[in-house]
């Protein structure tokens, strides 16, 4: 699931986000937005590591995952602010990633000693955060000028790259893997690419 999700997210980045950034041709805005995205994700990583060290409880774990999925929701809102087509593909990509994250979170909560009821409630609350982030992101960014949108898209590109390279693939490689598992990365990539090609433009 993590290999497939990584392929889908990487495809959304390559098919929609990066071509849009290249088309706008604003290198300084891209540099600023990309740097901000890298700093944001590194800052969240440091904060998450510190939180996990301080608290190994289900509550601490839920806070870390909640921040992650809220950022994913904001990325969906950013993509829809850039265009309906971009928003739809990024939503599909991140939805698959969130399924993987939800399963992993439920398993982690169970291992941490959380009751079944708490695990279900926590997962349901986490499922609402991306929707809240998407609505907030779209409302805040819908009227941005082209230069600011360029910077925001570059920030989104940096966060999606981080998601693929430092989260999904790193976690997927923590267990022994068969060749067919690696092949799922490419299956996810081509699946979203074909979906984009089959979707009418406009």
Q: What is the pLDDT of residue 35?
A: 95
Integer Cα distance of 15 and 21 in angstroms: 11
Residue range 169-187, pLDDT digits in tens: 887 787 777 888 889 999 9
Integer Cα distance of 145 and 152 in angstroms: 11
Give residue 36's pLDDT band: very low, low, confident or very high (50, 70, 90): very high
Residue range 60-69, pLDDT digits in tens: 666 667 777 8
Q: Which residue has the higher pLDDT, 10 or 114?
A: 10
Query: What is the reported pTM?
Result: 0.77
φ, ψ of residue 175 in degrees (nearest 5): -120, 155
Q: What is the pLDDT of residue 55?
A: 54
Q: How far is CA 81 from CA 1, 47, 147, 170, in A?
A: 28, 28, 13, 30
């Amino acid at each position: 699931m993590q290999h497939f999700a990584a392929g889908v997210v990487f495809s959304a980045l390559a098919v929609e986000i990066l071509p849009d950034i290249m088309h706008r041709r604003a290198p300084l805005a891209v540099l600023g937005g990309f740097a901000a995205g890298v700093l944001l994700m590194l800052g969240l990583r440091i904060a998450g590591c510190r939180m996990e060290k301080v608290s190994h409880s289900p509550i601490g774990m839920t806070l870390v995952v909640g921040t992650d999925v809220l950022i994913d929701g904001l990325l969906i809102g950013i993509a829809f602010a850039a265009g309906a087509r971009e928003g739809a593909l990024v939503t599909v990509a991140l939805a698959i990633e969130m399924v993987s994250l939800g399963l992993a979170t439920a398993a982690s909560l169970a291992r941490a000693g959380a009751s079944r009821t708490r695990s279900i409630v926590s997962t349901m609350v986490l499922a609402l955060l991306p929707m809240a982030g998407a609505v907030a992101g779209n409302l805040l960014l819908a009227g941005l000028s082209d230069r600011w949108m360029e910077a925001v898209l570059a920030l989104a590109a940096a966060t999606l790259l981080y998601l693929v390279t430092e989260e999904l693939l790193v976690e997927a490689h923590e267990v022994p893997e068969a060749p067919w598992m690696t092949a799922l990365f490419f299956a996810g990539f081509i699946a979203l690419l074909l979906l984009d090609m089959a979707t009418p433009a406009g």
